[in-house]
Structure 1
């Protein structure tokens, strides 16, 4: 036992135990974890406290706003195409970065890029055009930015452009108050909200849903959370909301509600377990997947709860509209006037006073907007997700599948398949080790995800099929609609490739000679006299502690070590499975196989053959110990693991007593 502890003390110098590795065999964790940080993209010369993107997937360029600058980068984000400096004017007595111009808005507005920033606590906007020599951007005009950009970048703000109109929500006061959603500029009349409609809001997102057959009936949907009017001590202090206004709304008449929304309605956005009265009330992010038929447009909401869990709930615009069109109005028990409050009309200034008054005093729906799964969120996780994007991917059979791309607060991206009613967590990619995601944009056409951090912009290829390239079974079990198995290995999806996205059943694969060989080997009893190739060979002296290692290819699999007909579980260490031998005896020699089993697929990941090594007297220390030999035999084995701590030495030594 002393030798065993000495062995692990030596290991502690070079290795480190990672205690929070995902549990093997659990589908609540990503199936595949990237082996280290994915590098590439664009690195800022100075860390950015805040960044904002504008990126259209039909373009070959992206715009990035940071502190005192706007950059135009190539589509790969690797080099600067144009650069513009937007510094705030010098001011006296500047403190805590108040003279900085942190860019908070970049939108395509009318015929130019429209950029707004804090401008030293005096929000300002600019129209930017590429200069004639294409070397830098130039300002054509500037505008006051109050109500579009916040005074301070940490204050809440959103923006949206629709058919030449700019919608925004940003504080009108330096303390972050007077926050409401407005149509701020463009061809239509400027309109804003009535103060009593919302209470201390945090706006998350706004989106426009087109209705090509009835354009005058199109709505702008606003997602936010606000202070709960229920003062019960057990009630959550925040409540999540969806509101809507009509695109054609021009405000009320000159005598009543002039320049106020006449179509504003709001409803509670519910995500949780209604039967248990457990709700995720903290809306964090929204992503909208538009459909050909507008009623099928999907809204993916990312929520957190008071018990530190995160959930994704999915809604359809059809069901959302059903609430707004058919629910009764909270607090109102009289006859509903006509036209119904919230109805889109071409001339809102001519609406009857009764309709406008009801919008003014009773804008909230009685019914709640429930997710399509009703009884539970689509996905619940202990991960602290902060951003969401959703891609539509066409599989080899022509069917469409939705992939959720979720950013964690620790710089990771999880790729999650929407597999019918349940999520399937395909993979985890580490992009940064020391900052959270500031902004995220999806390019569905190029199948890339652009992710902004304080130190860099990372661009992920969503078709990382080489990670499942070991066999057809590995490719199919991944259930990744971006990838199929072909004669060239696991490749980006093409018609005719081998896939099984619905359940990952590998029966679609033709068993290759190698796969059949692996199946046969798992059934064979291995011993030291076997004449077949048993993999890596090591000569190890008697009484020496020793360990074997094999890589973890899938965290949904269960790994075991097979030796002379006996099976033992692996000791999970970061991205490897270990088998520890406290002191070599005659029974420990022979063949070892590291075997993984995922669903009905069993494969041999790695094999070893251990043979006895004769100890020569000249190798012994003066005290008769063979400590040097212990170190030599141990260091000759497996370099893949990163570190093991002394904590493990104590724990494992207890196991083998």
Structure 2
């Protein structure tokens, strides 16, 4: 990755997807699909290169180098007995989903064995697996370690020979956080205060705070979940709230109070919201902890959603803020309402882990704590202070799908900077690769991993294999962490902002293969720039298109070598992601325009235009039988080559080029046209005078003629036919978009909601008529090309919308002022306003043509 992170503040409401890859376009992926379904549990052992997969009634052992290689893969069947399935059916459970053995837990027990648990047709069982022989060696009861229902949220792990799990256990679905072994087992208190309320767990983590601790602190376990909301909030209509809970690893319960119960349990609320837009994401779906050099440097990424709306957000939290919340004031239940506790707090502080301060008071374990401390902890497990995300709002918002899983890997680029790479799974089987640059997330690509739409269940990252393993209902996919070969040019490779990739002078490759630092700036410019000429009548509008390939770059325009700094209606210009709109063109706006894409100080030319603003000509006479022909030189098209990259110094790329294409001379034939127009108007005026006298004479004679009535009827008939000829009504009819917006033989314009407005003739009377047919219409100019209307107004979707594939993303770090920046104002709204007040309709007699 080369160069500093580009600015984001002007990229509001910008789509972030760069590459969308369907299943058939995946590169370097391996697939595994056994006889089972519902692959939900993944255990990666990177050292020996093994991946253990827990599915429905089966466990698989795969080679991480290639999970598709079935020659070395092993399977272990673990199905519920027929009798157990019959008992499950007798309890009213679903024979298609619930009355099976779904493997929910799979972890390393010791050097020789694995430990696993499954629902076992609503009667949980656990087992030990001999790793060398890959066989079961012992089974035991699992109702205290595994949920009965395969759909209930669950998390668990084995640390230092101790198993911790959190879920809704037993038929009553009572949520609990438990230490299952060794003795003494611990669990939550089930007193009327209820520490947990219908909690749905999504993840857990251990942070070893005892390492190099100056106060002799204890390690802490964190559990993340969503539960029923009972506390007053500004959005009390929402019934759920996201939480993080904490317990101390050395907690062994109290001596008299809280025997075999957690004495260190505390919980606090995780906030992921955009208050300005009243968006409060209250359902936590997945978490991932990135450990730093110390606990306070560790960060948490969380995927949130809404209860009844298909929408997702990613928020980042600092564990320093988490610790601050647990050190803050408590909440207390008073008269069935939660209020902040303002009374005296006993010492040592309830809910804290044993430290050197406790040991100085001869409190060496939780069993030595006084009863008043334990009783206070029993009634005050909820903290008052809420945990806000870093920056106060989400780093990413997804508006059309639900995120289900997230995994994060830190990557160091060639300059030694560290970036967080985010891998986010969706409910439809897509994987989004994203990089966090500064305080923002940039989506690099989205990958369709499965043909059928299905939620992604689990993900693990292999440092050794440089791969991520993704599981869903139908199988497991091994995906490389990077696909640098997708970028075919240096421009795409560098500006994609993929920290895994860099340009080595010949191709885009992974930076781990680089032998030395490379200078790549001289490879950026393309060889040719498309050049066009635009002619526009004064007062009309013209759109100069300029598609930017990098979603992190910004467009810059120059006029006759000078950068256009002011944008807006007052300046006569409007810029957007697809080009520059000249509003009400005036003579001073004629000249040579050039569009550059600018990123990290590098200016790359993209398009070039020569714009001619012509005075409005006098109206042409309708008696000549055809419109006045314009000279062929009125419209011209050229292609201007850009100097080769090797001939342009790097310094010139880092600043706006001072010299651009020279202006073309004004049209020499225009003066002759002006004289021709004056002569033609004089001649036509004389003809009109003569014709008027003749018509008056004929009318006088017709009134005195016996056949006046007949002539009147004929005149009326001719007038009616003429009016019918003139009245060519049209109406706008909405049709669905199809075939990427292309419809044969139909004119159309684009509406704001993504549909097409088809221009069709209104109903015209088709009954037979005895009147003679009207005169043939006047010859019309040749039709415009289907892809572009006059003045360069595009008939297709903007380029950024064409890339979205049904998904759209928006950055939310901007202020309201930034989000309404004129540089990225909606072109649809602006064009609608301008087209309503246009006074002229310009048609190009000879549409532009271009080549590269």
TM-score higher than 0.5 here? yes
Question: Does 2:521 match 1:510?
Answer: yes
Structure 2 residue aligned with 1:4: none
Q: Scaled by the length of structure 2, what TM-score is found?
A: 0.57
Q: Quote the Cα distance in structure 1 between the aligned partners of 2:198 and 2:460.
A: 28
Q: Quote the Cα distance in structure 1 between the aligned partners of 2:330 and 2:87.
A: 55
Q: Quote the Cα distance in structure 1 between the aligned partners of 2:122 and 2:344.
A: 48
Question: Does 2:16 match 1:29?
Answer: yes
Structure 2 residue aligned with 1:43: 32
The structure 2 residue matched to 1:334, chosen from 339, 343, 366, is 343
Q: Quote the Cα distance in structure 1 between the aligned partners of 2:470 and 2:195.
A: 35
Q: Give the direction of change, closer, same or farther, for the CA distance of 1:337–1:155 in structure 2 (3 Å limit).
A: same
Question: Does 2:319 match 1:317?
Answer: yes
Q: Give the direction of change, closer, same or farther, for the CA distance of 1:292–1:270 in structure 2 (3 Å limit).
A: same
Structure 2 residue aligned with 1:170: 167
Q: Give the direction of change, closer, same or farther, for the CA distance of 1:229–1:26 in structure 2 (3 Å limit).
A: closer
* Cα shift at 1:469: 2.7
Other structure's SS at 1:171 match: strand
Could you list the runs of 5+ residues in structure 1 that have no partner in the other structure? 1-23, 500-507, 527-550, 569-585, 603-641
Is this contact kept in 1: 2:168–2:200, CA < 8 A? no
Structure 2 residue aligned with 1:303: 304
Q: Quote the Cα distance in structure 2 between the aligned partners of 1:217 and 1:263.
A: 11
The structure 2 residue matched to 1:378, chosen from 395, 406, 416, is 395
Q: Quote the Cα distance in structure 2 between the aligned partners of 1:234 and 1:324.
A: 23
Other structure's SS at 2:313 match: strand
Structure 1 residue aligned with 2:376: 358
Is this contact kept in 1: 2:325–2:383, CA < 8 A? yes
Q: Scaled by the length of structure 1, what TM-score is found?
A: 0.73
Q: Note the 1:43-192 alignment, pairs <5 A.
A: 43-46=32-35, 48-75=37-64, 76-80=66-70, 81-91=73-83, 92=86, 95=89, 96-97=95-96, 99-111=99-111, 112-132=113-133, 137-174=134-171, 177-186=173-182, 188-192=183-187
Question: Does 2:269 match 1:268?
Answer: yes
Alpha-carbon RMSD: 3.6
Structure 2 residue aligned with 1:477: 495
Structure 1 residue aligned with 2:836: none
Structure 2 residue aligned with 1:213: 212
Q: Quote the Cα distance in structure 2 between the aligned partners of 1:523 and 1:592.
A: 5
Structure 2 residue aligned with 1:582: none
Q: Give the direction of change, closer, same or farther, for the CA distance of 1:651–1:423 in structure 2 (3 Å limit).
A: farther
Q: Quote the Cα distance in structure 2 between the aligned partners of 1:469 and 1:71.
A: 38
Q: Quote the Cα distance in structure 2 between the aligned partners of 1:522 and 1:238.
A: 55
Q: Quote the Cα distance in structure 2 between the aligned partners of 1:387 and 1:338.
A: 41
* Cα shift at 1:281: 0.9
Q: Quote the Cα distance in structure 2 between the aligned partners of 1:393 and 1:272.
A: 28
Superposed CA offset, 1:538-588 (max 9, x none): xxxxxxxxxxxxx99666786789xxx9999xxxxxxxxxxxxxxxxx999
Q: Quote the Cα distance in structure 2 between the aligned partners of 1:36 and 1:60.
A: 26
Other structure's SS at 1:511 match: helix
Q: Give the direction of change, closer, same or farther, for the CA distance of 1:560–1:33 in structure 2 (3 Å limit).
A: farther
Other structure's SS at 2:527 match: helix
Structure 2 residue aligned with 1:368: 386
Q: Quote the Cα distance in structure 1 between the aligned partners of 2:55 and 2:200.
A: 22
Question: Does 2:470 match 1:451?
Answer: yes
* Cα shift at 1:315: 1.1
Is this contact kept in 2: 1:414–1:427, CA < 8 A? yes
* Cα shift at 1:189: 1.8
Q: Quote the Cα distance in structure 1 between the aligned partners of 2:115 and 2:436.
A: 36
* Cα shift at 1:593: 11
Is this contact kept in 1: 2:226–2:284, CA < 8 A? yes
Superposed CA offset, 1:385-407 (max 9, x none): 11111110010011111111111
Other structure's SS at 2:522 match: coil
Question: Does 2:258 match 1:257?
Answer: yes
Q: Quote the Cα distance in structure 1 between the aligned partners of 2:533 and 2:406.
A: 49
Structure 2 residue aligned with 1:204: 202
Q: Note the 1:550-629 alignment, pairs <5 A.
A: none
* Cα shift at 1:113: 1.0
Question: Does 2:286 match 1:291?
Answer: no
Q: Give the direction of change, closer, same or farther, for the CA distance of 1:182–1:651 in structure 2 (3 Å limit).
A: farther
Is this contact kept in 2: 1:385–1:407, CA < 8 A? yes
Q: Quote the Cα distance in structure 2 between the aligned partners of 1:147 and 1:364.
A: 25
* Cα shift at 1:106: 0.6
Q: Give the direction of change, closer, same or farther, for the CA distance of 1:431–1:560 in structure 2 (3 Å limit).
A: farther
Question: Does 2:405 match 1:408?
Answer: no
Other structure's SS at 2:343 match: coil
* Cα shift at 1:275: 5.8
* Cα shift at 1:328: 4.0
Superposed CA offset, 1:114-146 (max 9, x none): 1111112211011101345xxxx1112111111
Is this contact kept in 2: 1:89–1:99, CA < 8 A? no
Is this contact kept in 2: 1:30–1:426, CA < 8 A? yes
Could you list the runs of 5+ residues in structure 2 that have no partner in the other structure? 1-10, 90-94, 333-339, 355-363, 535-546, 554-576, 581-591, 596-631, 643-653, 658-737, 749-757, 760-783, 790-852
Structure 2 residue aligned with 1:503: none
* Cα shift at 1:28: 2.6
Superposed CA offset, 1:203-256 (max 9, x none): 111110012124751110111111011478843100111110000000111x32
Q: Note the 1:228-243 alignment, pairs <5 A.
A: 228-230=229-231, 234-243=236-245
Q: Quote the Cα distance in structure 2 between the aligned partners of 1:361 and 1:490.
A: 60
- The number of aligned residues is 529
Q: Which moved more, 1:50-59 or 1:104-113?
A: 50-59
